[in-house]
Structure 1
Amino acid sequence: MASPILSISDAVKTYGDTHALNQVNLDVAEGEFLTLLGPSGSGKTTLLSAIAGFIKMDSGKLTLRAEDITNRPPEHRDFGMVFQGYALFPTMTVRENVAFPLKVRKKPSSEITKRVNEALEMVQMGAFADRMPSQLSGGQQQRIALARAMSFSPQVLLLDEPLSALDKKLRADLQWELKALHNQLGVTFIYVTHDQDEALSMSDRIIILKDGGIQQQGDPNTLYNRPRNKFVADFLGKSNFIDVTVKGQTNSTLHCTAQDVAFDVETDTTNTTGDTVKLALRPERLKLGAPNEEFLPAVVKQVSYLGERCQVIVTHKTLGEMLVSCPTWKTDITPVAGLTVSIGWEPDAPVVLADN
């Protein structure tokens, strides 16, 4: 990474015995779309609030372009902020809402008019400039909140679950718009969400948090396909977990057994014969077919139809229940409850997980 625009070092924040932030270290690159992802209570909103200056860390340091801003008040950090609940002023018009941060900064009226018009056009809301927030839909209000946050050209834009109050289709549409806007403007985005699909579809890099600490970070492809531990594999998408005993390793091929089931796994980890390790196996990496000798016999327990794909729960006498995700278009078999099938996977499909 080049010199970061923003760095947070050894951040600690506690509430009683609870660590909301536990020695968090993070660099944010210029122009990056960085997403903080985690379940409720993981520390993602606390971290965003510490960056914004809304809460004071117990210890730690925050720098913006190598300048210490740890104790700088929020209004002097030059960060834009978009909230989940829009936070528009109900008694101001759309134009007045977008102009507000510029007036606070005492910009000339001619500049305010120009920037407001540009910000509204940026989010395709120029025709709504004289309306009140109550006359707008939720998606339109969120666009106005975004225009207001961008009107003064902030160095960093902080977004706290901005799409969570919207319905599924509108949320998906705005995800595309936000990503396109980020690409257009090149402004650094720090985005908070608990929605895994949202994080995967929009981010340059994802930080996965749990109990105030970073579990893993990386680009979406790496995190999804190479989760470090069970929490990441289970939280980011769905996984089947198999406990296996290591029977040996030849170069990158791990020879292992799960009771009476023996198979090989391609891995870049080094393992000791006799060790017990946990594997993560994504549902879409399993193959579902008619009974045959090459795959493991199983019985369909439950089928959930999702349009282009279906989720199938099968049971195997040793491995127990396994989740399989398979396409619904031109498939070899149509899974129904009670059907005898077979399941299998390629040696590079499972991922060997760390203990923590």
Structure 2
Amino acid sequence: MSQPILSIRNSVKRYGPVHALDHVDLDVAEGEFLTLLGPSGSGKTTLLTAIAGFTDLTEGSVSLRGRDITKEPPEHRDFGMVFQGYALFPTMTVRQNVGFPLKVRKRPASEIKQRVEECLDLVQMGAYADRMPSQLSGGQQQRVALARALSFKPQVLLLDEPLSALDKKLRADLQWELKALHDQLGVTFIYVTHDQDEALSMSDRIVILKDGKIQQSGIPGTLYNKPRTRFVADFLGKSNFLDVSIKGRSGDHLECVAGDASFPVDASSHGEVAGDRAEVALRPERIRLGAAGSEFLTGTVKQVSYLGERCQVLLIHKVLGQILVSCPTWKAGIDPAPGLEVGFGWDPDACVILEAE
């Protein structure tokens, strides 16, 4: 990474004995779409508001292009902010709302007029310029809030769960629009969400937090395919977890045993020796499902959930217990039904051996 636009160093925020942030270090690259992801209480919003200047750190620092801004008030940081609740002024028109940050900055009227038109066109709200917020849908209000945050050309745009109040389809549509807008403008986005699908589909990089600490960060594909811990594997998507004994190596594979089930696991990123215990994560979509006897394990279907293009099948194995399988419904080759005995298996590179937490 070249010199970051933002650097957070050793950031701590304590509320009595509780650490909302616990010695967090983070660099944000120029033009990056960075997502802070985690469950409620993980520290993601506290970190965002500390960057914005709304939360004072107990310890640590925030730097913008190498300049310490830790003690600067929010209005001097010149960051755009988009909130979950829109925060539009109800007595102002759309045009007045978008122009307000420019008016506060005492920009010329001609510049305000031109910039407001540009920003409303960016978010496809030009035709609504003279409406009041109460005359807009939730998605339209969020577009106006985004236009207002971009109106003064901020160096960084901070977004605090901006889509969480919208229905599923509208949220999915706005995800595409937000990502396209980021690509078009090149502004640095720092986005907070607890929605894994949002994070995976929009981000250049994801930072996963738990209990005020960064658990893992990386590009979406790496985090999903190579989670380091059970928390990351469980929070980002779904996983089956298997407790195994590592009996030895066979070429590039580790020979793993769970009860009377034996299977190989890719050893390329693992150096354990025979006799070690380990925990393995196995994504449901990486499991093959077929007729009984077609794979190296056999189980019984307990439950099937139809999800359109895919179905989720919950299997019972006599040793491994419950195993969740996700398989396509189109030309699946097998029609799973409760009580049916089926074969299931996976390739050696389907599993990831997890670090102890």
TM-score of the superposed pair, with normalisation by structure 1: 0.99
Provide closer, same or farther for how the CA distance between residues 24 and 241 of structure 1 changes in structure 2, counting only shifts above 3 A.
same
TM-score, normalization: structure 2?
Answer: 0.99
Equivalent residue letter for 1:307: G
**CA distance in 1: counterparts of 2:13 and 2:271, whole angstroms:** 36
Residue of structure 2 equivalent to 1:62: 62
User: What is the alpha-carbon distance in structure 1 between the residues aligned to residue 335 and residue 17 of structure 2?
Assistant: 52
Shift of 1:11: 0.2
The residue aligned with 2:244 is 244
Q: Which residue of 1 aligns with 2:142?
A: 142
Alpha-carbon distance, 1:249 to partner: 2.5
1:285 alignment partner in structure 2: 286
Equivalences for residues 164-203 of structure 1 within 5 A: 164-203=164-203
Q: What CA deviation, in whole Å up to 9, does each residue of 1:261-319 have, x standing for no partner?
A: 11110031110221110000000000111011542110000000000000000000000
The answer for the alignment partner of 1:327 in structure 2 is 328
**What is the CA-CA distance between 1:251 and the residue it aligns to?**
5.4
Could you tell me how far apart the structure 2 residues matched to 1:251 and 1:23 are?
41
1:86 is matched with which residue?
86
Aligned to 1:164, what secondary structure does the other structure show?
coil
Tell me the alpha carbon deviations over residues 311-332 of structure 1, each in whole angstroms, 9 at most, x when there is no partner.
Answer: 0000000000000000000011
Q: Which residue of 2 aligns with 1:343?
A: 344
C-alpha contact (below 8 Å) 2:287/2:325 kept by paired residues: yes
Deviates more, 1:250-259 or 1:201-210: 250-259
Residue identity opposite 1:215 in structure 2: Q
Q: 1:293 to 1:132 in 2, by over 3 A?
A: closer
Residue 342 of structure 1: SS of its match in structure 2?
strand
**C-alpha distance in 2 between matches for 1:88 and 1:48:** 20
Asked whether the 8 Å contact 1:249–1:271 carries over to 2, the reply is no
Match of 2:160 in 1: 160
User: How far apart in 1 are the matches of 2:210 and 2:250?
Assistant: 35
Distance 2:289 2:351 in 1: 16
Distance (whole Å) between structure 1 residues aligned to residue 36 and residue 124 of structure 2: 27
* Greater mean alpha carbon deviation, residues 249-258 or residues 169-178: 249-258
Whole-Å Cα distance in 1 between the matches of residues 290 and 346 of structure 2?
11
> How far is 1:54 from its partner?
0.2
Residues 1-356 of structure 1 correspond to what in structure 2 (within 5 A)? Answer: 1-250=1-250, 252-267=252-267, 268-292=269-293, 294-356=295-357
CA distance in 2, matches of 1:325, 1:291: 17
Asked if 2 retains the 8 angstrom alpha-carbon contact of 1:62 and 1:70, the reply is yes
Q: Note if contact 1:252-1:269 (Cα within 8 Å) is conserved in structure 2.
A: no
SS in 1 for 2:184: helix
* Residues paired across the two proteins, number: 356
Q: Identity across aligned pairs (percent)?
A: 72
Deviation for aligned residue 1:116 = 0.5
Calculate the aligned-residue CA RMSD, in Å. Answer: 0.8
- Residues 295 and 344 in structure 2, CA contact (< 8 A), matched pair in contact too: no
* Aligned-partner Cα distance in 2 for 1:264–1:127: 60
Higher mean C-alpha displacement, 11-20 vs 206-215: 11-20
SS of equivalent to 1:348: helix
TM-aligned CA deviation for residue 136 of structure 1: 0.2
Unaligned runs of 5+ in 2: none
Please, which runs of 5 or more residues in structure 1 have no aligned partner? none
| Residues 62 and 251 of structure 1: CA distance in aligned 2, closer, same or farther (over 3 Å) | farther
Shift of 1:16: 1.6
Runs of 4+ in 1 over 2 A off after TM superposition: 249-252
**Is the deviation greater in 293-302 or in 28-37?**
293-302
Classify 1:93/1:266 alpha carbon distance in 2 versus 1 (closer, same or farther; 3 Å): same
SS at match of 1:298: strand
Q: Is the partner of 2:131 in helix, strand or coil?
A: coil
Structure 1 position 259, deviation (Å): 1.4
